[in-house]
Structure 1
Amino acid sequence: MCGITGWIDWEEDVTRQGAILETMAATMRYRGPDAKGIWLTPRVAFAHRRLMVIDPAGGAQPMAYTSGSHTYAITYNGEIYNFRELRGELETRGHTFSTKSDTEVILHAYVEWGEDFTRRLNGIFAFALWDEQRQRLLLARDHLGVKPLFYAQRGSAVIFGSELKALLAHPRVQPEVDRDGMADILGASIIRTPGFGYFHDVHEVRPGYQLIFERERTRVNQYWSLRSAPHPDDVETTTQRIRDLLKDTVKRQLIADVPVVSMLSGGLDSSGLTALAAEEFRREGRQLETYSIDFVESDEYFTGNDMRPSLDAPWVTRVAEHAMTRHHTVTVDTPELLENLLVPLYAHDVPAMGQIETSLYLIFKAMKEQATVALSGESADEVFGGYPWYHYEEILNINTFPWLAMMRRRRSLSSPPRLLSEEVMQKVSPFEYIARRYQEALAEVPRLEGEDAEEARRREIMYMGLTRWLPLLLDRKDRMSMAVGFEVRVPFCDYRLVEYVWNIPWQMKTVDNIEKGILRRALQGILPDDARMRRKSAYPSSQHPSYIKGVCDWALQILNDPNAAVRPYINVDTYRAFANKDNPVLGQDFGIGPLERLIQLETWLKEYHIRFV
């Protein structure tokens, strides 16, 4: 895992702009703390910050390869899990390699198979590849969008980077936000629109896409997408296929030249991966290290709800003992959460989630002390339909994103409280913006001819989760892990598994009348039955009164400042009513997310010198 950045320019000689390139790369030094490199030609400026995971000695980047009179170069972030198979196939075709890295395999795969080579990759990746002879830049991103990649076209230049801050460090990209950006950041913060880059005329390479930039034209190729088709297998065959895919995926994703550990919440997803990984470790005579997070006095202040019905700790112990792992619990207290509340903002370069990201950052920081790579159970709920909103009948036909409908259901509200100022509401029309984004998502859903209405609607909701909700969580995982130079792998995002499960009928997905029933069957014999049948419980958060008070006090400081940058954009009275509550309804109803976001928004407007255009 690394940070990549750079640009091409069809008109200017970029060899004289090395200082700008160095500055862009330096913004992401935490993504790649182990090494750095640049590659400059008159047309191309590539930079790389490296986190050493595979072939520490030979995988330096940017990497160039010359074959005859043809030169190719790449700057790449990610892991290719099938690179050994690809390398073997390429060697049979006459290719020779000077390193043991997957980076070199990507270059040779492009030389051998051309633009279509991306279809052969199984992994998490984002890269920029330059073909000198054809004067062609190729930007590509993995199937589900685990690794980020942003770009902007400015005049004769195409500028790119793993994070927005790298682009903002280039003088041609300014911190300007247009109407859609305002609507998204201020009013649609829990929807992630594919391809949207927040800042004016800044874009994200969409998952499963590659962009080819040539002097005279730009081409957009979708190399992977979900395809709807009848599911041919019975329950037993389906169960076995899922089990086989998971075993193969976990085995592939344990490959590294650095220590690998596993996250363990005691939930079905992380527990299943942990058990499979621990088995692989035992075959090699090793013991897997696992990590979970907890909060000071969590047992005293915990209150369950439909998203999080139970504490994790007892189940973590149960699974760790079953899998025979060496377990570590990272316990977080209020001061740490408050001190690091702005970390998500600086990692995303836009206001983000609050402690749900901060606590993740803190556990990764602790894990980094002993390891460089971890497995995570992220995305199983999106792939298999695990969230409550997949299961409430009244949400099925509400004409919006299902998690928004779920939030309204939990709060017993016909409409959310007005958080934005009247001026902003009129200018950006956030409800209309959300409705437009919802219709865009609906239009993309791959339909299955002859499917009944209920199954078709469930397919729509599953598609929303995979393409508009999951990216939020993948962004969170990437930014919080890479903020400490730590790689997190997500086996449930293996595109082969996602493709297969996509077409499993809902009744089979929920076999045994429980969410993710087919996954639970696949893990039979791998997990103890009580842990295997534990109901879905969301990622934990602190409910400690001291944290709620700390956030409320911080928010009130901003609200009481007549010169606060955020004042023109918010409904001050609504926020003040939230923050003044002695025992906020926020704690159980809205959470303290709106106040955490208010704090980040104030800092963002000031420190990023945001201009609305």
Structure 2
Amino acid sequence: MLSGGLDSGSVVSFAAPELRRRNEQLYTYSSVPDPTFRDWSSSRRVADETPYIRMTAEFVGNIRERYLDFAGLSPYSVIDDWLDILETPYKFFENSFWVKGIYDQARRDGAGVLLSGARGNFTISWGPALEYYALLLRRLRLVRLYREIRRHGMYKGVRRSRLIALVGRQALSMLGFAAGPAEPDMPNMILRPEFARKYDAFGRLARHGMGVRGTRITDPVELRRERLHSAAAANKSGAVMTKLSLRYGVQERDPTFDPRVIRFCLSLPFEQYVRQGMDRALIRRATKGYLPDGVRLNYRVRGIQGTDWVHRMAPHWPAFLNEIAQMCRSEASAPYLHHDHLRALGERYAAGPDRNLRAILN
């Protein structure tokens, strides 16, 4: 499963040469946007990673690429299949159509193992620069902070004054002065406010370390450790991988989440992951000669997968709105869901997704 980034690219850069020694070829599968999709993302995000994928494939060699646009598929069209596979609700709707589609294509090609680098963000390619710089600021290591920010700004193409402001905000957030609402916006929630208050839903979440914006953990090292040791996250990922493997006869393997790799990565100090202005520094240095510099040293843009998910739902929009309307007439869901808010959203976006794309995603 090859994107244009560091994680899956690193896996490919080691797998393809190994297969060459066996006189075998590596097949790669890459999801690309619908050809009619107009990219709305920022200049630092890219929806179509094809140029970076090709760069990796040409540099590494021994690769047979497949670029899959999954025409006609959307998060809405695959709901019943996913519920049948998982036998439980799920929330990764924006990526659901292409994950399932890649498994299906791999099965058709007769693949037995499907490699990925899905969990590398917290292992091999971890290295959040702003969080590290905030720690330097809190520890008053100002000389090092200045040198790091100067180099990081050159790599990223960001002014030092802008970076200093971002680091300052990050440091305040880590001290508990996070910007934004501390309480949930009850009137604009899908969850029925009376239900949330009756059962103290957000109080219960708070007792488990969760806030309105997600986890309350602000220390990046502790957050990483919590994610890697989370039994809930491991169970969710393992269940999805296992059930997809059983359905399609293709076993997914993620080398970036191998226990030996996790233990090694956790043994390294923060300074190995952010150094000399370089974020994600460990993997950038380790893949020198394995990945093309256009990918390895790409600091300016990052891929954003499944960006066209709302666009893909346009043909299904009337059916989607009809299901919302049926839900709002259901007495079974009335105690739990905020029907008035759902009806208002349905009326607001009745014209379709394209006109209100940014508003929906925000």
Assess, with a 3 A threshold, how the Cα gap between structure 1 residues 420 and 578 changes in structure 2: closer, same or farther: same
For residues 215 and 40 of structure 2, the distance between their equivalents in structure 1, rounded to whole angstroms, comes to 36
Residue 23 of structure 2: aligned partner:
285
For residues 357 and 290 of structure 1, the distance between their equivalents in structure 2, rounded to whole angstroms, comes to 18
Residue 364 of structure 1: aligned partner:
103
8 Å contact kept, 2:75–2:96: no
Matched, 1:385 2:126: yes
Residue 208 of structure 2: aligned partner:
437
Deviation at 1:501, TM superposition (A): 1.3
Structure 2 letter corresponding to 1:322: F
Equivalent residues in 2 for 1:71-110, closer than 5 Å: none
Residue 160 of structure 2: aligned partner:
none
Bigger mean CA offset, 370-379 vs 460-469: 460-469
Residue 41 of structure 1: aligned partner:
none
Assess, with a 3 A threshold, how the Cα gap between structure 1 residues 390 and 368 changes in structure 2: closer, same or farther: farther
Structure 2 letter corresponding to 1:348: L
CA displacement, residues 527-548 of structure 1 (integer Å, 9 cap, x when unaligned): 1101112344343342453515
8 Å contact kept, 1:268–1:533: no
Matched, 1:517 2:281: yes
Residue 571 of structure 1: aligned partner:
338
Deviation at 1:466, TM superposition (A): 2.1
Structure 1 letter corresponding to 2:283: L
Give the SS at the match of 2:256: helix
Equivalent residues in 2 for 1:69-468, closer than 5 Å: 263-297=1-35, 300-305=37-42, 308-324=45-61, 325-335=63-73, 337-353=75-91, 354-370=93-109, 371-383=111-123, 384-385=125-126, 393=167, 394=169, 398=173, 415-416=184-185, 417-438=188-209, 457-468=219-230
For residues 515 and 266 of structure 1, the distance between their equivalents in structure 2, rounded to whole angstroms, comes to 17
8 Å contact kept, 1:421–1:571: yes
Structure scoring higher RCO (CA < 8 A, sep ≥ 6) equals 2
Q: Which has the larger radius of gyration?
A: 1
As a proportion of its length, which structure holds more strand? 1
Deviation at 1:367, TM superposition (A): 1.0
Deviation at 1:435, TM superposition (A): 1.2
Structure 1 letter corresponding to 2:311: P
8 Å contact kept, 1:307–1:538: no
For residues 502 and 273 of structure 1, the distance between their equivalents in structure 2, rounded to whole angstroms, comes to 19
Residue 136 of structure 1: aligned partner:
none
Equivalent residues in 2 for 1:483-498, closer than 5 Å: 483-498=247-262
8 Å contact kept, 2:16–2:26: yes
Give the SS at the match of 1:339: coil
Assess, with a 3 A threshold, how the Cα gap between structure 1 residues 309 and 461 changes in structure 2: closer, same or farther: farther
For residues 310 and 215 of structure 2, the distance between their equivalents in structure 1, rounded to whole angstroms, comes to 39
Q: In structure 2, which of residues 263, 267, 272 is the aligned counterpart of residue 508 of structure 1? A: 272
Residue 599 of structure 1: aligned partner:
none
Q: In structure 2, which of residues 276, 286, 308 is the aligned counterpart of residue 542 of structure 1? A: 308
8 Å contact kept, 1:520–1:533: yes
Q: In structure 1, which of residues 487, 512, 533 is the aligned counterpart of residue 297 of structure 2? A: 533
Give the SS at the match of 2:4: coil
Any gaps of 5 or more consecutive residues in structure 2?
133-165
Deviation at 1:511, TM superposition (A): 2.3
Identity %: 21
Deviation at 1:289, TM superposition (A): 1.2
TM-score, with length taken from structure 2? 0.72
CA displacement, residues 10-61 of structure 1 (integer Å, 9 cap, x when unaligned): xxxxxxxxxxxxxxxxxxxxxxxxxxxxxxxxxxxxxxxxxxxxxxxxxxxx
Residue 558 of structure 1: aligned partner:
324
Give the SS at the match of 1:361: helix
Assess, with a 3 A threshold, how the Cα gap between structure 1 residues 579 and 532 changes in structure 2: closer, same or farther: farther
8 Å contact kept, 2:45–2:304: yes
For residues 31 and 264 of structure 2, the distance between their equivalents in structure 1, rounded to whole angstroms, comes to 32
8 Å contact kept, 2:104–2:248: yes
Deviation at 1:398, TM superposition (A): 4.8
Residue correspondences, number: 310
Assess, with a 3 A threshold, how the Cα gap between structure 1 residues 500 and 306 changes in structure 2: closer, same or farther: farther
Structure 2 letter corresponding to 1:557: E
As a proportion of its length, which structure holds more helix? 2
TM-score, with length taken from structure 1? 0.45
Any gaps of 5 or more consecutive residues in structure 1?
1-262, 446-453, 593-613
Deviation at 1:591, TM superposition (A): 3.5
CA displacement, residues 201-220 of structure 1 (integer Å, 9 cap, x when unaligned): xxxxxxxxxxxxxxxxxxxx
8 Å contact kept, 2:129–2:274: no
Structure 2 letter corresponding to 1:421: R
